[in-house]
Amino acid sequence: MSETFALIYSSRFGEYSYGDFHPFKVDRYRLTYELMEQSGLVDLPQVKVVECPFVSEDMLLDFHRLDYLDTLKKFSMDDEPHANFFYGLGDVENPVFKGLYDWSRLMCGGTIEAVRQVTEHGCRAAFSMAGGWHHAHAARASGFSYLNDLVVAIKQLLKQGKRVVYVDIDAHHGDGVQEAFYSTDQVLTISIHENGKDFYPYSGFVDEVGSGDGYGYSVNIPLVSHSDDLIFEQAFQRVILPLIEGFAPDVLVTQMGADPLRTDPLTRLECTTAFMEYAGRQFLATDIPWVAIGGGGYDRLNVARTWTLLWATMIGEYVDDEFTSSLQATIAEIDEECFWLRDLPHMAAPDDFARAQQALDKNLSFIERCIFPLFNLSV
């Protein structure tokens, strides 16, 4: 395997919009790419930038139902208001707009291309920032997600006879991916997220461990609100990394949502940008072919900073904290004020940390007792 890294991107990402008042802003992709470019992380010998293609409809049918795809396609043909709540389409959460179907196919195509770059072109790792739509179901949009690029891509890997570990560090549980592979032992899904007791999508509890052949191959690490970087790092060391090693996959697929940051407007975790650099280092150190995919994040500058740091970590380049004057100008254009790439160190308040630690210890103990023996792991 070469030390080449593929960045999947397209200027077409910004040609669509969920609406001015929707929390998901597509311009985060342009901002991220500009930040990477101006930080000197694009024009490098080890980096190849690959234009994002559309996914084929045949691939979509490996997971999504034809009636759902037909409806999504029909609703995307004009600007008229459409809704079908059976399919989760047309509400405030999952609006319908002209071009939605093609835009979703583009997002999904980026994930497929990232897989292709790793499995067919020999790249050490690939990053597609536009994917990560882990809430979409076979015939229902959910959580801003219309097509589940992660499931579609993993199914292509399974067709090649590969075993896959999927790790989701988004603040929201990766419910659509878990559901798709809940009864198979060919995919190990691991999701670390804010507790679904009172947080969308209200799933991902520690006792959701898979069924049938998939028993033990669904692993969830729910975190209470105010969990910080140290809580994440403990979960990696005690559970996530040992399980990856124990499963010994052919390919590692990760969803790298930026919404665990403490300044994200939709979540209640207290991570800093350091958690993304840490995760990137740990995934790279596994030496497993790595497909990294974007995900959540509802402060666009947070997303851009976090994924720029992730990309730098992936390709082995260091970037300074202080923004250059050109970067500051780019940020000023979107009425933001930020002059540093990395967050300052932060820890949760003592009472909050104590509650987070207690909950983490309880959940990790359950996983170590009930899941580790299935992978011949000892505590």
Please give the positions annotated as active site. Answer: 135
Amino acid identity at 6:
A
Which of these, 369, 379, 378, lies nearest to 216 by C-alpha position? Answer: 369
Place of tokens 């990232």: 114
| Angle of CA points 170, 175, 177, to nearest 5° | 90
Which of these, 353, 210, 365, 205, lies nearest to 271 by C-alpha position? Answer: 353
Cα–Cα distances in angstroms (integers) from residue 205 to residues 172, 173, 191, 229, 372, in the given order: 12, 9, 10, 21, 17
Please provide residue 219's backbone torsions phi and psi, each rounded to the nearest 5 degrees.
-125, 130
Tell me whether the omega of the peptide bond preceding residue 289 falls within 30 degrees of 0, making it cis: no
Burial class (CB within 10 angstroms; exposed 0-12, middle 13-18, buried 19+) of 32: buried
